[in-house]
Structure 1
């Protein structure tokens, strides 16, 4: 019998570091996680998703509404703000760093954002197969880790093969919104998505206009402070044949 695998077939776009959480963050997991944090069946790794696991959005949110998924939600500033401003929509934050998840739950609870859930898991495994095909109205990827050293670029989230994963989660006509302050990553994103038959540009010119629904976060401020241009991209999911 072959030995069970103890690794993933593809490199992940993060390095998970453990750190001590504050009392408030610990409280978030004790008191708020039962509502906000999804129970994700695991496969190999602690951030993996079992291939048989499926999310039922209607059961999870208690209604049928457009679902917006943010990949790499960090401290949750963007998605908590959006969920608070758009109570008619449902939101899913995907993040692997527990301190960020805790901060998101605390802020969501304070804002009364009951239309938000969190998944502590590797993003591609959430997009497919955990999310049912076509479940998401939009997928957001704002300021993903650029992995700017040449030997590390293979870890970038948006690379060859990723468009098919994102396309699986998106409904026909759904939007994939991206932003980065790293020019070479922006160029890579655009090249990869332009070549993907599942997507078409939803912008004119070189870059998309800044997404008005994205609040200014520390990542964006940091990029601006360092003199880097912020580049947005928006792609539309082509109708399935």
Structure 2
């Protein structure tokens, strides 16, 4: 069985770019971040997670509730929509791009979503150490960067070793939900997860049905407009031991 990836020894799945923040985005970090943004102790890089850092959901959210984690939440459209319509569930958005984090906070505040928190960090480190083992009811990975050039595919998030990292954070019977508009990446995801002993298919046929909780976003519409098919996958965490 492959060992979980040791991240920062592996290529990360993003290239962090800096840019000028708008006044609204700056305001989001000044006024909203104290509530929404979990302050992550760092290690070797600004988006890294110190190995001793821990996020205890009951302490952060002030209650015990199911936790859904979205990896690469982007502008936050999917997770804000989910959080604002499912107040009985806690949500955690994991993203490295500050503009996206700012937009998520602004929209969450406007929607009154108080059951949402954000983490600015490399996602595999969040899954492998920051979150308690088995704390997530579901992990969502919707439209991750496909790194479609052959020389860059080693940067893809869902690759050999990743299922073990994700499985650590997901409770027994919990779900890993994925979607992409790149066929070759969808095939890679399915191959890697089909071979992972920690997961079993939670769908029949070739692909999963569209998850009804996944709202249509501008990003998805863009892929459809370019003629790309959307493919969904869903895997259930096998009981430990």
| Long gaps (5+) in structure 1 | 1-6
Q: Are 2:200 and 1:200 equivalent residues in the alignment?
A: yes
Distance in 2 of aligned mates of 1:228 and 1:102: 29
Structure 1 counterpart of 2:68: 68
Aligned length: 235
Partner of residue 4, structure 2? none
Cα-to-partner distance string for 1:24-60 (whole Å, 9 max, x where unaligned) = 0000000000000001000000000001111110000
Match of 1:94 in 2: 94
- Deviation of 1:219 (Å): 1.4
Alignment of 1:1-241 (within 5 A): 8-241=8-241
Secondary structure at the residue paired with 1:174?
A: strand
Please list every run of at least 4 consecutive aligned residues from structure 1 whose deviation after the TM superposition is greater than 6 angstroms: none
Q: In structure 2, how many angstroms separate the alpha carbons of the residues matched to 1:55 and 1:119?
A: 10
In 1, distance between residues paired with 2:99 and 2:76? 10
Structure-2 separation of matches of 1:120 and 1:168: 20
What TM-score, normalized by structure 1, do the two folds share?
0.97
Gaps of 5+ in 2: 1-6
Which deviations, in whole Å up to 9, do the C-alpha atoms of 1:162-181 show, x marking residues without a partner?
A: 00000000000000000000
Q: Secondary structure at the match of 2:91?
A: strand
For 2:43 and 2:21, the matched residues in 1 are separated by 26
CA distance in 1, matches of 2:39, 2:21: 21
Inter-partner Cα distance in structure 1 for 2:140 and 2:81: 14
Deviates more, 1:213-222 or 1:25-34: 213-222
State the distance in 2 between where 1:136 and 1:10 align.
Answer: 24
Deviation, structure 1 residue 67? 0.1
Find the residue that maps to 2:224 and give its secondary structure: helix
